[in-house]
C-alpha cells in the first residue's frame, strides 16, 4: 500500500464514530487530556509543526488538534505511529494501556470490571437477549432503536463496550455462567432475518460451552418472579456478591445479604421454571428450522 493510501485509510478510521471523549466521565477526561498534553509536548520538543506531524503520522491536522487538546480518544495505531515519529522509544505506544481503560462508557467499564472478577455469573433477561450474548449486528440494532436516538458516536462506543464485556468467555479459569432468556425476544427478528439467525447461532455456540448453562423460559409457562425485569447476580472468589434487578431494586447494585438472598431466591425460581439446558438448545434449533 502506498504512503498516501495508508494515510487516507488512517484518516478514514480516525473519523469513525465512537472515539469522542465523554465530558461526564471525569476519569476518562483526565486520562485523555494527559495523553494529549504529553503528545503535544513531545511534538513541540522536536520542533515539529502540527501540519508536519499530521503528514508524518498519516492523520488530518484537525484530528491531531483534537487528540492533543483531549477532545478525541487516540486509536492504538495513532499512538504506535506517533511513538516512531516522536522517537519516544515505546513510551507513547505504552500510553494505550491507560487509554484502552477509558475507551468505553463509564457504566459499562464498571460492569465489565465486576464481571471480569466474578467466579459465577447469573443473568435473567425478559425483554432482550442478554448483552453478554449479543452479536455486533444485534447489539447495534437494539441501541439504534432507542428513543431519543443516540448519536452515531455513542452507538459505536456502546456496541464496542458491549462486545468487550464478552471477553469473560475467554477467561482462564473460566467462570460459571448461567443465562435464562425469555422466548419472546428470541422470536423477534432484530436487525433483519440474517442478523436474527446469526444471533440464534451465537446462542447455540455459547450454550455449548462447558462452563455455560443457557435456558429458555417458554411464553406459555406459569407466572414467575422475573416478570418485572432483568436480574443479574455476580459472585466473587472471596465469597462476596453483588446483584442488580429491575422492579423492586430499580436496577441499583445491592450487596446486603438479605437483599441478595431475595435475588437468589427469585433467580433460582426462574431457573427452575425454565426449560433445561438441552431442551433450550433444541428449542433454539427449532426456531432456526434445524430440527
Q: What is the pLDDT of residues 12-26, one digit of tens each?
A: 444 565 577 777 778
Query: What is the rounded CA–CA span in Å between residue 173 and residue 133?
Result: 19
What is the average per-residue pLDDT within 110-136? Answer: 90
Between residues 152 and 101, which one has the greater pLDDT? 152
Flag the least confident range among 33-47, 132-146, 157-171, 173-187: 157-171
pLDDT at 104: 61
CA distances from 247 to 185, 228, 239, 263, 280 (A): 19, 5, 26, 11, 26
What is the average per-residue pLDDT within 106-113? Answer: 66
Question: Is the link from the previous residue into 173 a cis peptide, with omega within 30 of 0?
Answer: yes
pLDDT at 112: 72
Q: Is the pLDDT of residue 5 over 90?
A: no
Query: What is the rounded CA–CA span in Å between residue 122 and residue 243?
Result: 9
Q: Report DSSP state, residue 211.
A: T
pLDDT at 21: 78
- The answer to whether 3-102 and 106-288 have equal CATH topology is no
Query: What is the rounded CA–CA span in Å between residue 256 and residue 237?
Result: 17
- What order do you get walking across the sheet with 212-217 strand by strand? 212-217, 176-182, 120-125, 231-235, 241-245
Query: What is the rounded CA–CA span in Å between residue 227 and residue 230?
Result: 8
pLDDT at 4: 47
Q: Is the pLDDT of residue 257 over 70?
A: yes
| Architecture of the domain whose range is 106-288 | 2-Layer Sandwich (3.30)
Alpha helices in the chain (DSSP H): 3-14, 26-45, 50-57, 61-68, 76-85, 96-99, 106-117, 136-144, 152-164, 183-187, 193-207, 257-273, 277-288
Between residues 9 and 39, which one has the greater pLDDT? 39
Share of the chain above pLDDT 70, in %: 90
Q: Is the pLDDT of residue 279 over 90?
A: yes
pLDDT at 115: 86
Report how far Cα 268 is from the mean position of its chain's Cα atoms: 27
What is the average per-residue pLDDT within 212-222? Answer: 95
pLDDT tens figures, 53-83: 999 999 999 999 999 999 998 989 999 999 9
The pLDDT confidence band at residue 114, using thresholds 50, 70 and 90, is confident
pLDDT at 246: 85
Q: Is the pLDDT of residue 9 over 80?
A: no
Share of the chain above pLDDT 90, in %: 64
Positive or negative, the CA dihedral 126, 180, 255, 171 is: negative
Cβ contact 99:38 at 8 Å:
no
Q: Go through 90-129 and write b for each residue having 16 or more CB atoms within 10 A of its CB, e for each that does not.
A: eebbebbeebeebbbbeebbebbebbebbeebbbbbbebb
What is the average per-residue pLDDT within 213-239? Answer: 92
The pLDDT confidence band at residue 214, using thresholds 50, 70 and 90, is very high
Domain positions in the chain are 3-102, 106-288
Query: What is the rounded CA–CA span in Å between residue 178 and residue 267?
Result: 10
- Count of all residues that appear for the chain in the document: 291
Overall fold of domain 3-102 = 434 Repressor (Amino-terminal Domain) (1.10.260)
Sorted by sequence, the CB contacts under 8 Å of residue 56 that are 6+ apart come out as 48, 85
Cell 468467555 found at: 169
The pLDDT confidence band at residue 163, using thresholds 50, 70 and 90, is very high
Between residues 101 and 271, which one has the greater pLDDT? 271
β pairing state of 231-235 and 120-125: antiparallel
Q: Cell triple for residue 79?
A: 499512538
Amino acid at each position: 500500500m502506498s504512503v498516501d493510501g495508508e494515510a487516507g485509510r488512517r484518516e478514514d478510521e480516525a473519523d469513525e464514530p465512537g472515539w469522542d471523549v465523554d465530558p461526564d466521565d471525569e476519569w476518562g477526561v483526565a486520562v485523555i487530556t494527559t495523553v494529549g498534553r504529553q503528545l503535544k509536548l513531545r511534538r513541540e520538543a522536536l520542533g515539529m509543526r502540527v501540519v508536519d506531524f499530521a503528514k508524518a503520522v498519516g492523520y488530518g491536522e484537525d484530528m491531531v488538534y483534537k487528540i492533543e487538546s483531549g477532545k478525541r480518544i487516540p486509536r492504538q495505531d495513532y499512538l504506535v505511529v506517533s511513538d516512531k515519529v516522536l522517537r519516544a522509544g515505546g513510551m507513547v505506544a505504552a500510553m494505550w494501556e491507560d487509554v484502552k481503560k477509558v475507551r468505553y462508557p463509564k457504566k459499562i467499564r464498571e460492569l465489565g470490571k465486576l464481571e471480569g472478577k466474578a467466579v459465577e455469573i447469573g443473568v435473567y433477561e425478559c425483554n432482550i437477549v442478554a448483552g453478554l450474548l449479543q452479536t455486533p449486528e444485534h447489539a447495534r440494532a437494539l441501541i439504534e432503536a432507542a428513543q431519543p436516538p443516540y448519536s452515531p458516536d455513542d452507538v459505536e462506543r456502546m456496541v464496542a463496550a458491549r462486545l468487550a464485556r464478552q471477553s469473560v468467555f475467554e477467561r482462564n479459569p473460566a467462570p460459571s455462567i448461567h443465562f435464562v432468556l425469555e422466548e419472546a425476544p428470541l422470536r423477534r427478528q432484530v436487525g433483519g432475518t440474517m442478523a436474527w439467525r446469526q444471533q440464534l447461532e451465537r446462542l447455540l455456540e455459547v450454550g455449548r460451552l462447558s462452563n455455560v448453562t443457557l435456558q429458555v423460559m417458554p411464553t406459555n409457562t406459569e407466572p414467575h418472579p422475573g416478570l418485572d425485569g432483568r436480574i443479574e447476580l455476580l459472585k466473587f472468589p472471596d465469597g462476596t456478591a453483588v446483584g442488580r434487578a429491575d422492579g423492586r431494586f430499580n436496577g441499583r447494585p445491592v450487596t446486603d445479604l438479605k437483599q441478595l438472598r431475595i435475588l437468589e431466591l427469585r433467580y433460582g425460581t426462574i431457573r427452575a421454571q425454565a426449560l433445561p439446558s438441552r431442551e433450550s438448545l433444541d428449542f433454539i434449533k427449532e426456531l432456526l428450522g434445524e430440527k
